[in-house]
Chains A and B, each alone.
Chain A
Amino acid sequence: MAKIIEGLYYSESHEFVKVEGEYGYVGITDYAQEQLGNVVYVDMPEVGDEVTAGTEFGAVESVKAASDLVSPVSGSVEEINETLEDAPELINKDAFANWIIKVKLSAPDELKSLMDAEAYKAHCCE
Chain B
Amino acid sequence: MVSFGGFEMPLQYVDITTEHNAVRKACGVFDVSHMGEIFVKGADAEKFVQYIFTNDVAGAPAGKIFYGMALYDDGGTVDDLLVYKLGEQNYLLVVNAANIDKDYDWFKQHASTFAVEVTNESDVYGQLAIQGPQAEHVMETVLQLPCKELSFYTFKTLQVGGEEIIVSRTGYTGEDGFEIYGSHKFIQDSWDKLMESHQAQPCGLGCRDTLRFEVGLPLYGDELSNKISPIMAGLGMFVKLTKENFVGKAAVARQKEEGVRQKIVGIELADRAIPRHGYEVLTDDKVVGVVTTGYNSISTGKSVCMALVDIAYAKLGTPVQVRIHRKLHDGTVTKKRFYEKNYKK
Q: Which residues of A contact B (CB under 8 A)?
A: 37-38, 40-41, 43, 58-59, 61-64, 66, 85, 88
Contact = CB atoms under 8 A, between A and B. Distances in A.
Contacts of B16: 37-38, 62-64
A88 B60 CA distance: 52
Contact of B15 (A37, A41, A43, A88): A37
A41 B325 contact: no
Given A41-B296, A58-B325, A63 B276 contact: no
Contact of A88 (B210, B272, B295): B272
Given A58-B325, A63-B298, A64-B11, A41 B17 contact: no
A63 B295 contact: yes
Interface string B284-295: 000000000001
Contacts of B276: 66
Contacts of A58: 325
A61 B274 CA distance: 8
Contact of A63 (B210, B272, B273, B324): B210
29 contacts: A37-B15, A37-B16, A38-B16, A38-B17, A40-B272, A40-B274, A40-B296, A41-B273, A41-B303, A43-B273, A43-B324, A43-B325, A43-B327, A58-B325, A59-B325, A61-B274, A61-B296, A62-B16, A63-B17, A63-B206, A63-B210, A63-B296, A63-B298, A64-B16, A64-B206, A66-B274, A66-B276, A66-B325, A88-B272
Interface of B: 11-12, 15-17, 206, 210, 272-274, 276, 295-296, 298, 303, 324-325, 327
Closest 9 CB pairs of A and B: A63-B16, A40-B296, A41-B272, A61-B274, A43-B325, A41-B274, A64-B206, A37-B15, A59-B325
Contacts of A38: 15-17
Contacts, number: 38
Nearest to B14: A37
Contacts of A61: 274, 296
A106 B17 CA distance: 41
Nearest to B20: A63
A88 B274 CA distance: 13
B279 to A, nearest CB: 10
Indicate the member of A62, A63, A85, A88 with the most B CB atoms within 10 Å: A63
A38 B324 CA distance: 19
A36 to B, nearest CB: 11
Nearest to A49: B326
Contacts of A85: 272
A109 to B, nearest CB: 27
B24 to A, nearest CB: 14
A86 B2 CA distance: 31
A107 to B, nearest CB: 23
Indicate the member of A37, A38, A43, A64 with the most B CB atoms within 10 Å: A64
Contacts of A88: 272
Contacts of B206: 63-64
B322 to A, nearest CB: 12
Given A43-B325, A63-B210, A66-B276, 10 more contacts: A38-B17, A41-B274, A41-B303, A61-B296, A63-B16, A63-B206, A63-B295, A63-B296, A64-B11, A88-B272
